[in-house]
Amino acid sequence: MTEELRTDAMHDPPSSKGQEVQRTFNKITDYYDRMNRLMTLGRHAAWCRDVAVSTKVPSGGSMLDVATGTGVIALAALEKYPNSTIHAVDFSERMLTEAASKPGASAIMWQHADANDLPFGDESFDAVTHGYLLRNVDDVERVLEEQYRVLKPGGRVVILETCPPRGLLRYPVTLGVRVLIPLLGQMVARDRESYAYLQKSTLGFMTPQEVVAILRRVGFASIAWKKKFFGTHMIISAQKAVAFGESR
């Protein structure tokens, strides 16, 4: 099935963590882009473009951006692949409203959806992307299994995530994150509590090696990753295997 809505899916209510994350992101929508620029010293948009380029969406192909937020990755993909079909989903309706108001956004199909239960048929997309999704879900493996399901054979998933710093810079960078993110949240958004949560999820998430291990369990291959920004961010790409006898 290609880009077909699933009508047989069971939609479970969000977990308590899911409800907390949903409330947080609805709350910080107005400041989200500004805070991402500040927290990454202006590098966030470039990383999103890197994610979009890494999908290698074929001409006339399709891409799904999960947890699209304000649509930065989806819009970057549209700019890179203007003749592709871009779907973007999020379970924060305020984020979707903000994303859909941006220049060029009318060419993207925005939809409210839960990453645990994507409303698309099997093998619907040539690529799947997401930024800062996995650190906010209860079951990373389930979410990646859903993405594997909706990918066509040979399709790619590209992930932008935070990761705990390691090596010589571990302690100074950790201290900086613990102080800077809540402080910026207070100064810019007047919301220290929400950004204290984001600080904890940033430092408490998995290493690249742990994410790679889950991707392999799910069935992905050709996995590669690189770190960004003093080791606090990572971009991981992986591919769904092509069945024997098929061509990509």
* Residues in the annotated binding site for S-adenosyl-L-methionine: 70, 90, 114-115
Q: Where are the beta strands (DSSP E) in the chain?
A: 62-66, 85-90, 109-112, 125-131, 151-162, 220-228, 233-240
Helix H or strand E segment including 77: helix 72-80
Residue pair 236/213 in contact (Cβ under 8 Å)? The answer is no
Which residue is associated with the tokens 């409203």?
97
Count the neighbouring beta carbons within 10 Å of the beta carbon of residue 150. Answer: 24
Residue 210 Cα distances to 140, 156, 202, angstroms:
11, 19, 15
Measured distance between the N- and C-terminal CA atoms of the chain, rounded to whole angstroms: 17
Residue pair 147/237 in contact (Cβ under 8 Å)? The answer is no
Q: Half-sphere exposure of residue 235, counting CA atoms within 13 Å on the CB side?
A: 18
Question: Helix 16-28 and helix 192-203: axis angle, to 10°?
Answer: 120
DSSP conformation class of 169: G
Would you list which residues are annotated within the binding site? 70, 90, 114-115
Mapped to the 3 state alphabet, what secondary structure does 214-228 carry?
HHHHHCEEEEEEEEE
Q: What single-letter amino acid sits at 188? A: V
